[in-house]
Amino acid sequence: MKGEHFKKYSKYFFPIVIVIISILIRIPKTPYIYGYDGFEVIWMAFAIKNGALVSSQTWLIHPLSYFGFYPFSQYPIGLSLLLSGLLSLNFSLPISICIIDFLLTIICTLGAYKLAGLIFKKEIYKNLFLIMIVIGNKDFFNYTNFSLHPRGVSIALSFWLIYYLLKFKNKKKLFTSLKLLLVFVLMILSYRIAWLYLFYLIPFSAYIALSSTKMKFFAEKYLNNQIVNAFFFLLTISMIVVGFIIIPSYDISLWSPISKDIGIFSQIATLGMIYLTSLGIMLVFLPVGLYFVFFSSKEIQLEKRVFLLFAIIFAALVWKIPVYSIVLFSPIYTWICILGIKKSVEFLRKKGHSNKFSFLLYSSIILSLTIIIHIIYISVVIKVKYTYFVVLGIIGVCVLFYILRRFIFHIKRMHWVSMLIFTLITSNVLLLQTTYEGQENYASLLTAPFSLDFSQNHITKDELLVIDYIKGEGIEGIILTDSTTLSRRIGGVGFLPTIPGYHTELPLYYGWVDANLVRNNTYFDFHYFLETFSFLYNDTSYEDYLLSQIRDLNVSRTSTIVTLVSLHIQYIVAIKNIEDNTIYPYLFHPYGNTSYYFFESLNGLVPSFNTTFLAVWKIY
């Protein structure tokens, strides 16, 4: 009776438990805000709170500026607007970020559950769908773990987008269209790359066409054969090849934790590792799911199957760019992985194995693979040695879970289903913990707050001290830094006028570029838009002019100080090499180092303020 009672309410129990677990693992582990692009969003939120929406001192100089498509407006205002609203309600910045992260987690959970209910019949597969995204997707975790990133909004809303697309053939088409439009507008207001979701209209068109009675009859009669399946399979492989050809300049080695080689085999290996660590351990079921997508006409309704096949083909085109393809196609990849698990379990049942054996076997496989990958990942790639206890902890919790379920609560019917779900949760949390701890220690605070490969992505205590120092001294000019990440962090959290010696998206707000000048020199260029997702600004900004003037200056000369004062550069913040307490002679940038003699010349000037890893010079 208890087992039946548990099954009756599992429809609500598992989603609620998953949401609670997802929120718990998003409770900040450190007092420091995490992320890279999110600091730009934070800066925009402070600017909006200070009146940027109605002031002449703003980057919002064109309707497209609100969506991030206009020069000097890299990010849409959706997420910043939400954050500024919470800040206006007197929530602190950390609390406001946590509220947004928890809200996105809930939205993603509900969307994934609704979409899974449209695709899968059994409750177990709805729950697996939730786990795969809300907990198992490392990227969604990173974008909603004490951080703000527009991609988190896109992933959370993408499930709703696909859900309404697949629901469109129902009677209430107008109402569904309005909800679909609302979701898309919210996505594009938060993440400008979200306009790529328009390509989902291609599989959607095929889905609608095959939904009609005549087309469905024709498709079932002539298209449901192995020749067509093979055609789709070969077309997908062709699209992957085309994807590599049309993006020849993309250097995947920039992301590679295993090799800096840009050869084809190295790129494929790197892509495999990126997808494995991003989509979670259930990625091992992706090949099985793909097989049944291409070669099983009975598993999925014909129109949904065509939708999925066209989506896979489109996904293949951008497979080489995981930062976008993982975000754009998380629901599709998840769909396929869950299908792989479903068919694998059904295969074991046909072989005469019981449900207990099937779920126990898959739990063992998943847990074993997790431990192996964990050990390889932290030993070879991340080189973090003190997280092995997590593995033992996971095994201990699984044993405890078994004892509680089997001998205390006597829940037999759902026991192995619960065991599989719990194993999936713990295995993916283990990967998340490995990734998180690796990022914290790979660019360890014991060596420097910014490693040469820029793995450090949270604001540090040193940066907070610098923010407090500058605010205490007063700010009237510009803060020049030798790191793009450093500039974003102290500029965002401290809402300070920083410039990283490279270029930023702030010149309009700080008056370095005239708004009319931008309007008069901006136009649409198709190739430039495809590369940058922005209109082209065809002129030199004052910011670039400023940077070109100071690049080769020697700070030890009086004339240089005069030049800095004339350019309103009031502070300089630079990273110290703690081995010899000197300043690095180049600009730290995520995609490489730029030679900058100016920063090397700082070694002859005594800092006005020092921390362990940073030095500050006050010019006036």
Of the ranges 44-53, 246-255, 318-327, which one carries the lowest mean pLDDT score?
246-255
Could you tell me if residue 531 is inside a domain?
A: no
CB 285, CB 344: distance < 8 Å: yes
Mean pLDDT computed over 28-53: 84
Residues contacting 521, CB < 8 A, separation 6+: 537, 538, 539
Of the ranges 40-49, 235-244, 604-613, which one carries the lowest mean pLDDT score?
235-244
Could you tell me if residue 62 is inside a domain?
A: no
Rounded Cα gap, residues 183 and 335, in angstroms = 20
Could you tell me if residue 381 is inside a domain?
A: no
The torsion angles phi and psi of 609, rounded to 5 degrees, stand at -150, 140
Rounded Cα gap, residues 257 and 45, in angstroms = 33
The SS3 call for residue 1 is coil
Could you tell me if residue 605 is inside a domain?
A: yes
Q: Give yes or no: residues 153 and 14 share one domain.
A: yes
- How far CA 201 is from CA of 135, 166, 189, in Å, comes to 28, 11, 19
Could you tell me if residue 23 is inside a domain?
A: yes
Residues 339-386: pLDDT tens digits? 888 887 777 777 666 666 666 666 666 666 666 665 555 555 545 444
Could you tell me if residue 135 is inside a domain?
A: yes
- Residue 510: pLDDT band (50, 70, 90) is confident
- Residue 440: pLDDT band (50, 70, 90) is very low
Mean pLDDT computed over 67-73: 90
DSSP state for residue 258 in the 8-state scheme: S
Q: Is the pLDDT of residue 409 over 60?
A: no
The SS3 call for residue 75 is coil
- Structural domain count of the chain: 2
- How far CA 465 is from CA of 4, 259, 449, 459, 493, in Å, comes to 58, 36, 13, 11, 12
Rounded Cα gap, residues 223 and 216, in angstroms = 10
Rounded Cα gap, residues 516 and 7, in angstroms = 64
Which of these three, 322, 352, 382, is where a domain ends? Answer: 352
Give the pLDDT of residue 387. 46
Mean pLDDT computed over 465-484: 91
Mean confidence (pLDDT) of the chain: 77
Query: In sequence order, which ranges of 247-285 are alpha helices (DSSP H)?
Result: 264-279
Residues 291-350: pLDDT tens digits? 888 777 666 777 787 788 888 887 777 777 777 788 888 888 888 888 888 887 777 777
Tokens standing for residue 474:
């007063």
Which of these three, 352, 375, 393, is where a domain ends? Answer: 352
Rounded Cα gap, residues 585 and 425, in angstroms = 46
Rounded Cα gap, residues 180 and 57, in angstroms = 34
Q: Give yes or no: residues 94 and 238 share one domain.
A: yes
Q: Give yes or no: residues 478 and 602 share one domain.
A: yes
Could you tell me if residue 375 is inside a domain?
A: no
Q: Give yes or no: residues 482 and 336 share one domain.
A: no
Which residues share a beta bridge with 573? 481, 616
Which of 464, 452, 552, 530 has its CA nearest to residue 247? 530
Full domain range(s) for residue 488: 461-503+541-618
- Other beta carbons within 10 Å of 496: 20
Q: Give yes or no: residues 473 and 339 share one domain.
A: no
Residues contacting 367, CB < 8 A, separation 6+: 394, 395, 398, 423, 426, 427
Could you tell me if residue 482 is inside a domain?
A: yes
Mean pLDDT computed over 63-92: 92
- Residue 6: pLDDT band (50, 70, 90) is very low
Q: Give yes or no: residues 469 and 346 share one domain.
A: no
Give the pLDDT of residue 336. 87
Which of these three, 324, 352, 380, is where a domain ends? Answer: 352
- How far CA 163 is from CA of 115, 141, 179, 329, 584, in Å, comes to 5, 22, 11, 13, 51
Q: Give yes or no: residues 335 and 467 share one domain.
A: no
Mean pLDDT computed over 450-479: 77
Which of 619, 516, 521 has its CA nearest to residue 570? 619
CB 550, CB 566: distance < 8 Å: no
Mean pLDDT computed over 167-176: 79
Tokens standing for residue 88:
């206006």
- Cα-Cα-Cα-Cα dihedral sign, residues 512, 514, 520, 523: positive
Q: Which residue has the tokens 């970020």?
A: 97
